[in-house]
Chain A
């Protein structure tokens, strides 16, 4: 089954403790992206990657890092999480720049206390 897999689904952590949210897709898509969803703000792009070793900032990249060492994986790294990063995170992939629409992961609900 074609899918984007995110882990974990839920995570509660403390301020400053480094964490990684993993994202993997099995569709051989070149384009991957991370979004965060906050009430009243919709979904905002954090980082995106056009292909392996090619990443770029989205609208809200501060406090986040990403890497794209393999085509299928695109982890989101929070080096020093803060409470304002409490949010619902989505990973997505597309076979091209997203003209054909993304396939989204199931989401990761992160709480930073």
Chain B
């Protein structure tokens, strides 16, 4: 069975601080995909990134960066110089084979002005 753990239920930081959201996954498959989604207060789910298990290069997109480490089964997400617009619930998710996309329970991030 596959599983995604987001141990941080809620995080609050002051604007402009850096913040890292943790994601730990479990899967027996060697080929799998990891995702991050953002859910702003309006409720929709916004795709942020997809990473396959063979690509361990870290990714940077503007203020966002992702650290994928197979050795620790982690796929952490860092926001640099956080802004109020980053306030949202963030979900990490895992997929392999023909199985469903399995989500973590989410981390609610609040950026304090």
Chain A interface residues toward B at CB < 8 A: 33, 35, 40-45, 48, 50, 58-59, 88, 90, 92, 97-104, 106-107, 109
Contacts and interface: CB of A to CB of B under 8 A. Distances in A.
B103 A43 contact: yes
Interface of B: 4, 6, 9, 33, 35, 43-45, 47, 50, 52, 91, 95, 97-101, 103-106
A100 B50 contact: yes
Given A43-B91, A88-B43, A107-B43, A98 B105 contact: no
Question: In this complex, which of B4, B35, B98 has the most chain A Cβ atoms within 10 angstroms of its Cβ?
Answer: B98
A86 to B, nearest CB: 15
Contacts of B47: 101-103
Contact of B101 (A88, A102, A106, A107): A102
B43 to A, nearest CB: 5
Contacts of A101: 33, 35, 47, 50, 101
